[in-house]
Structures are given as structure tokens and as C-alpha cells.
Amino acid sequence: MMDATAKPLRVPPEISVYAEQHGIFDLIQKMVSSLLTDRPEDPIQYLIDMLKKSGGDEVPRIFILGPPASGKKTIAKMLCDQINAVLLKPEDFFLDDVSERVKEALSYKMSNKEIPNTLWAMLIQERLSKVDCFKRGWVLVGFPTTREQAVLLQEASVMPQHVVLLDAPDTVLIERNLGKRIDPYSGDVYHTTFEWPSDPNVQKQLVKPDNISEKETAKELLAYRRHYHGIFNTYNNICKTINADQPCIDVFSQVLTYVQQQHRSAAPFTPRILLYGPPGSGRSLQAALIAQKYSIVNICCGQLLKEAAAGDTKLGELLKPYIEYGQQVPDNLVIKILKDGLSNFDCTTRGWVLHGFPRDVEQATELKDAGFVPNRVVFLDITDDAVMERLTLRMTDPVTGERYHSVYKPPPNPKVQSRLQRNPKDSEDNVQHHLDVYHASVWEMEKFYDNVIHINADQDPHTVFEYIESCIVNPIPKKIQKPKTAELHV
């Protein structure tokens, strides 16, 4: 807790960790947004009811849009099978309900009149309020088709998380549409060339849908192109256009990847980065690059221990024998040093990148119990052979202090070569020992931390940095169920 008598007032680091873990800022942002959108008569009770609801924020809310024959329904069905969401098609809204709005919409259909956009918005809002959509999420296919419809949905508080626009050249779409066939019993869509059913009974019952001639398809495409930019601009920040002129499974893979992405939050974000990897994986270099670019604090555990041992303190006196004789410092002393370092004002306000600790689950647990939980955990993966090549061939010039490497940076001349020295810690036996220690803990460490990010460290350091950087600045993708083999057939 904050002490009002102590100046300056500082927010304890555990408060920001708690707020980030539980999405406090995003929750407040959603509550305020919902208040402004719905404008309830009793705002307090509205917010109480909203907080009592559970699961509403985590479920998918997706629009799948596109021109005729772009594969909207096929992709939407595959997506719903994958993420267990409710598949919503506008034509199905009239089948299972007998509400007054459905009756009104049916009266328009029976009279061959166009259903007003305001009524469509109310129908969709009514359907999305049902328990299945609230608990499982939903994927709406083929609506809205105009900017006016999109605006009316926004006014009705129908706000998707992701909007997917499937698109392809008109010539491709016309060819696809001519071969479309529909199963009148299941509603499944097939194609005479690209996706013909294997079941002979299904083949016999397929029918050719109305209005799929080349002329009629071209007319529908013209209408779609006229309204495309209006829809795209309405959902510009959450919309992605995907090329539908490729194998269905490739389109589905791109759609699934997109809907797993979380949009960037406006919440305050303090980087707390942990770099974990074997010796020679480049942790120190990557930490230095990150700290330099983003002005966060570089916390090297080994360096902190050396600085503490050099200090004229009781703790420094305890550390000196371990540092001088190259022995492992007890975990309780390391945690005390790290706690002091990570609690500094710079670390709590600017963030930190930690490397060299923890090395195993026991140390990771102690770090967590001390209140320091990283929000990005990066595993730098590299083979043992590559580590051996990187470390055992390193040498130092005792005269200039310059570092060389037999493969990557050989000495400039024989004179320098003759005086180079190798650090005993770079011997093959010592490096192998550290690799064995790493391999003994890496599997448990991966289980301990959620959302571990694996990066191949056996490549150019700046390429590795770019991968790490993208993982820091972008939200972590949401976890979605693993696909079942039967669900991925096309």
C-alpha cells in the first residue's frame, strides 16, 4: 500500500502487475465505452450487472464479409468448428424464433419487400443477446453489406473484435459462382470443380442456386464494389483483407491467425522482459539492444552481484567469497540483490529486461513470490553444436583487450594470433556442464511460464532482435483450441 506520509508517492510494483494480470485498465475502458454506447437509465446498476457477467470479454466476435463466391460461409463454418463459436447467417434468423421482430421481418419477406436496415440491426442485436452467443462467441457471415448497415449495428452496440474481408478478382469469383451447388437439407455449399462431395447420396440432392449466372453475378459484384470502401473505412482499425484466390485451407489458416491476434490496448504498459537461454545464446547482447532502443533498465544478474560485492556493505561482504572463488551465490542472496534492483524507481516506471536469472523453476518461483512477474518471456533457442562453436573458439588479446573468434572474427595477423588467450570458462568441459544444467531445467521452465515465446537464436543478432521486438510491441496472441484433423478437411 502507498504511504501518504512518504514523499514522493510511488505506486508499489505489485499494483501494476495485478492491474495488468487482471486487465483492470481494459475493463474500465470497456465499462466507460459501454456506458457511452448504451446510455442506460441507471448507470450504477448497469455497471454492477456488467461486472457480474463472466466470459463476455473473452469470446470471439467476428464478421466474415466479402463478395459473392469468395468462400465466406465455408471459411466461417471451418472457423466456428475450430473455435467453438456460433455460426450466424442472416437467412437463418427467421428459422428458430417467433419474436415480434422476426414476425415483422417475415412479413416483409412474404410481401417480396426489402427488410429495412434498422430492422436488420434489431434482429442481429436480438440474436446476439442469446446465451449461446454470449457464452461461446459468434461469427456473423455476409452482414453488413453497406456502410449504413454497419453504422446501425454500431448504434445497436454490435461491435466485432475482428472483421475479415475475403476478396478475389471478379473473373475468379464469376467462375466460382457458376459452379456453386447447395445441399438443400444441410445448407452446405459445394463446387463442381473445387469441392465436390464424395458421398453419392449428397451428390444427387445438390441443387443449383438461383441468380448465379455470369450477368447476375457481375451485377452483384458491382454492387459489392460500390459499398466496399464504406464498410472497410467503418471497421478500418479491426479489419483485414485476405486474398480468397488460393487454396481454402490457406485462406482458413490466415483467417485463424488473424482472429487469434489481440488488438493493441491503450492500457499503460511497463515492459518486464525475461530472456532465457543456454550460454552463448546472445542474452546479454539482446538485452543491451532492447534496453538501448526502448530506454528500459538492463538487469544482468551477474553484473548486479559483482557490483554488490564491490560495495562496502554487509551484503557485499557476504558476496565477496562467492564472487572471488567463482562459486554459485545462494538463491536467498541473489533474490535480495534482485529485489533491490528491480524495485528501483527506474525499473518500476520504465520497465526492465532481466537475464542470467532464474536458471530453474525453484529460482523462478522465488522471483514470483518476491512480486516480480515478467509479462514477456523469451526463450532463445540454439543447438549445442552452435553454442560450442560460439564459445570455445573465443579468444582475447591481453594487450588491447580486443575479442576475437576463430571463425567469425579471426585475428588480423600472426603477431596478434600468437598472444591471444582463451578464458578457462570457455573450455569444452565447462561449456558442456552449463549446457547440461540448462537442459535439465528448460522443460520445467517452459511449463512454469505462460505464453513463452520461442525464437531461433542461431541467426544474425539483429534478425533475432527484430523478432524479440515484434513480440514486445505486439499483444500476445490468444490461445485457441487445437484443431482436430476431421475439422480441417476441405
pLDDT tens digits, 300-314: 998 988 888 887 888
**Distance of alpha carbon 97 from alpha carbon 44, whole angstroms:** 32
pLDDT score, position 11: 59
* Mean pLDDT value across residues 181-199: 80
Q: Within 13 Å, how many C-alpha atoms sit on residue 487's CB side?
A: 16
* Judgement on whether residues 194 and 231 belong to the same structural domain of the protein: yes
Q: What is the CATH number of the domain that holds 338?
A: 3.40.50.300
pLDDT score, position 456: 95
Look at residue 193 and tell me whether its pLDDT is greater than 90.
no
* Judgement on whether residues 198 and 161 belong to the same structural domain of the protein: yes
pLDDT score, position 442: 93
* Judgement on whether residues 222 and 281 belong to the same structural domain of the protein: no
- Beginning with the edge strand found earlier in the chain, give each strand of the sheet holding 297-300 in spatial order: 297-300, 352-355, 272-276, 376-381, 453-456
Convert the pLDDT of each residue in 381-401 to its tens digit: 999 999 999 999 999 999 998
Reported confidence tier of residue 97, pLDDT bands at 50, 70, 90? low
The terminus-to-terminus CA distance of the chain in angstroms comes to 57
Look at residue 198 and tell me whether its pLDDT is greater than 90.
no
- Structurally, how many domains does the chain consist of? 2
Domain-ending residue, one of 260, 286, 320: 260
Convert the pLDDT of each residue in 282-332 to its tens digit: 999 999 999 999 999 999 998 988 888 887 888 888 888 888 877 888 888
Convert the pLDDT of each residue in 416-431 to its tens digit: 999 999 988 889 999 9
Cell numbers linked to 328: 554459485
* Judgement on whether residues 148 and 193 belong to the same structural domain of the protein: yes
Convert the pLDDT of each residue in 225-252 to its tens digit: 999 999 999 998 899 999 999 988 999 9
Look at residue 256 and tell me whether its pLDDT is greater than 90.
yes
Look at residue 8 and tell me whether its pLDDT is greater than 70.
no
Residue 66 located in a structural domain: yes
Residue 129 located in a structural domain: yes
476 exposed, middle or buried (CB, 10 Å; 0-12, 13-18, 19+)? middle
Give the rounded percent of residues in the chain with a pLDDT score beyond 90: 43
Residue 141 located in a structural domain: yes
SS3 194: coil
Domain-ending residue, one of 233, 260, 287: 260
pLDDT score, position 19: 77
Q: Which domain holds residue 427?
A: 272-473
Reported confidence tier of residue 62, pLDDT bands at 50, 70, 90? very high
Convert the pLDDT of each residue in 100-123 to its tens digit: 888 888 888 888 888 899 999 999
pLDDT score, position 408: 87
* Judgement on whether residues 280 and 336 belong to the same structural domain of the protein: yes
* Judgement on whether residues 121 and 228 belong to the same structural domain of the protein: yes
* Judgement on whether residues 217 and 320 belong to the same structural domain of the protein: no
Residue 25 located in a structural domain: no
Residue 198 located in a structural domain: yes
- Of residues 368 and 157, more confidence is placed in 368
**Distance of alpha carbon 324 from alpha carbon 202, whole angstroms:** 79
Residue 7 located in a structural domain: no
* Judgement on whether residues 328 and 369 belong to the same structural domain of the protein: yes
SS3 239: strand
Residue with cell 459499398: 227
* Judgement on whether residues 210 and 231 belong to the same structural domain of the protein: yes
**Distance of alpha carbon 484 from alpha carbon 490, whole angstroms:** 13
- Of residues 26 and 163, more confidence is placed in 163
* Mean pLDDT value across residues 126-144: 89
* Judgement on whether residues 225 and 287 belong to the same structural domain of the protein: no
Residue 433 located in a structural domain: yes
* Judgement on whether residues 221 and 278 belong to the same structural domain of the protein: no
* Judgement on whether residues 253 and 356 belong to the same structural domain of the protein: no
Domain-ending residue, one of 238, 260, 282: 260
pLDDT score, position 159: 87
Residue 106 located in a structural domain: yes
Look at residue 470 and tell me whether its pLDDT is greater than 90.
no
SS3 103: helix
